[in-house]
Amino acid sequence: MSTPNKTSRLCLEIQDLYYLTGFYTIGDSAPQALVVPLEEPPFLVARLIECDLVPKLSWVPKVFTCPDKASILEVFYYATTAASVPEGRVGLPLQSISAQHFFHLQKFFQKFETELLDASKTVERVRLVKSTFEQAQIVAAARISEAALLSGLQLIQPGVLLSTLHKQSYETLMSLGSEVPGYVPIVRSTDPSGHGSWMVGEECTSGNLVFLELSACRLGHHAPLMRTAYILKPEEHEAPAWLKEAEELIQKTFEVCLPLMLPGAKAKDIDAVGREIMTNNLHGLSMSASLGEGPISTARRLAYSTGSTSTQPSGHAGWGDADFSLVGHNEGELQAGMVFHFIPWFQKYDVPSGPIGLSDTVIVTDEGGRRVGRMPLTITVLDAEGREVKK
């Protein structure tokens, strides 16, 4: 990034602070930042009400701060000028700051004829490959994720509120030691894609699907997973053919694709294999997880990297991150230590409608993709009275 006559610096907003420093806060309305000069120690710019957290949570030795009655931008300008940051080139995470904030920063740096660069993916590229320590946190999170999801699954009965399943699974996450996750647990039934989770008063009902997705969080690292249940109609005695096929195809996708997830393998090639399996179904099930605009061959992803960007104000990496996906347009190659949420799931649009998902967190190793979870990749089938049906 540097040239012989220009030095380079990096100014990072709250989105990456937790990963880099350990400092996090919900007080994100003000533009708190980490500044990383080329040759001098990094420093933080934080609100006065938050600065006590810096020595408690962070290794950063210096913090510039101000009360809320003052302008934190003015403090930022003072701190960066004192450290000679504007002399040269400065990288900013342009994809995660507001247009108004960028306008003020641009106006400030123009006074020094500073060249501004987009450093949006600087940290994210590092985060794509997890260290041994990080992988251990993901494994620990997986144990909590599975216990929490199972606690929700076990409550499914006709007449039970979806919000009750949400409450139980979230309570289990917290009681077993999860940090606040990037997203709260998702519980859905007849709606295949719209509102994304339960609605007030919505119940589990016979003849319908119940879908759960959640993730525990340990030191900012997630281990997401999905599971699905189906409550038989009174006249049904076994799972319908479309449900059996969905389960079989999802299981086959895991069986075939995980061995292909080797270092050096192209993301789009693995996606193509999985999509071929999923789309060749006999019941009009739609392979889900749309990624942007485009034809179906490039707009559906089989997996996405988890915990590689920050999706929370507190700086925790969320489980929903699609920046490096197993998707048809991604020419990128996998590396050992990459972690994906592997999501071969369906949307069913005819009656009974709803999502059908069995997923897991998968780590890329020299032997292929390795599932972190232990739960069987099976759909839970209950009779009309809520008793589990043996397959």
Do 132 and 118 share a domain, yes or no? no
The answer to which of 22-26, 68-72, 150-154, 331-335 has the lowest mean pLDDT is 22-26
Q: Is residue 145 part of a domain?
A: yes
φ and ψ at residue 72, rounded to 5 degrees: -70, -25
The residue type found at 186 is I
pLDDT of residue 68 exceeding 90, the answer is: no
Q: Is residue 391 part of a domain?
A: no
Final residue of a structural domain among 75, 98, 125: 125
Do 159 and 299 share a domain, yes or no? yes
More confident residue, 322 or 188: 188
Do 201 and 227 share a domain, yes or no? yes
Q: CATH code at 104? A: 3.40.350.10
Q: Which residue range(s) make up the domain with 74?
A: 8-125
Q: Is residue 3 part of a domain?
A: no
Q: Is residue 186 part of a domain?
A: yes
Tokens of 311: 């999706």
Do 99 and 243 share a domain, yes or no? no
Q: Is residue 262 part of a domain?
A: yes
Final residue of a structural domain among 95, 110, 125: 125
Do 283 and 375 share a domain, yes or no? yes
pLDDT of residue 176 exceeding 90, the answer is: yes
pLDDT of residue 98 exceeding 90, the answer is: no
> How far apart are alpha carbons 168 and 184 in whole angstroms?
12
What are 269-307's pLDDT values in tens digits?
Answer: 999 999 999 999 999 898 865 444 444 433 478 999 887
Do 225 and 310 share a domain, yes or no? yes
Do 170 and 118 share a domain, yes or no? no
Do 189 and 42 share a domain, yes or no? no
Do 163 and 310 share a domain, yes or no? yes
E strand spans, the chain: 8-13, 33-36, 43-47, 63-66, 89-92, 115-118, 186-188, 209-218, 221-231, 286-287, 301-305, 325-327, 339-342, 346-348, 354-356, 360-365, 368-371, 380-382
What are 102-132's pLDDT values in tens digits?
Answer: 898 899 998 888 889 898 878 888 889 999 9
What pTM value is reported for the model?
0.87
In total, how many domains does the chain have? 2
> How far apart are alpha carbons 227 and 187 in whole angstroms?
10
Average pLDDT, the chain: 86
What are 199-251's pLDDT values in tens digits?
Answer: 899 999 999 999 999 999 998 889 999 999 999 999 999 999 999 999 999 99
**Cβ contacts of 129-135, under 8 Å, gap ≥ 24:** 129/335, 129/336, 129/337, 129/338, 130/221, 130/307, 130/337, 130/338, 130/339, 130/363, 131/337, 134/221, 135/337, 135/339, 135/363
Q: Is residue 389 part of a domain?
A: no
The closest alpha carbon to 361, from 131, 143, 126, belongs to 143
The answer to which of 154-158, 223-227, 253-257, 283-287 has the lowest mean pLDDT is 283-287
Give the H/E segment covering residue 17: helix 17-21
Mean pLDDT value across residues 24-35: 75
What's the pLDDT at 4?
A: 37
Q: Is residue 1 part of a domain?
A: no
Q: Is residue 388 part of a domain?
A: no
Do 108 and 255 share a domain, yes or no? no
What are 4-23's pLDDT values in tens digits?
Answer: 345 556 666 556 788 888 88
Do 39 and 147 share a domain, yes or no? no
Final residue of a structural domain among 125, 156, 182: 125
Q: CATH code at 137? A: 3.90.230.10
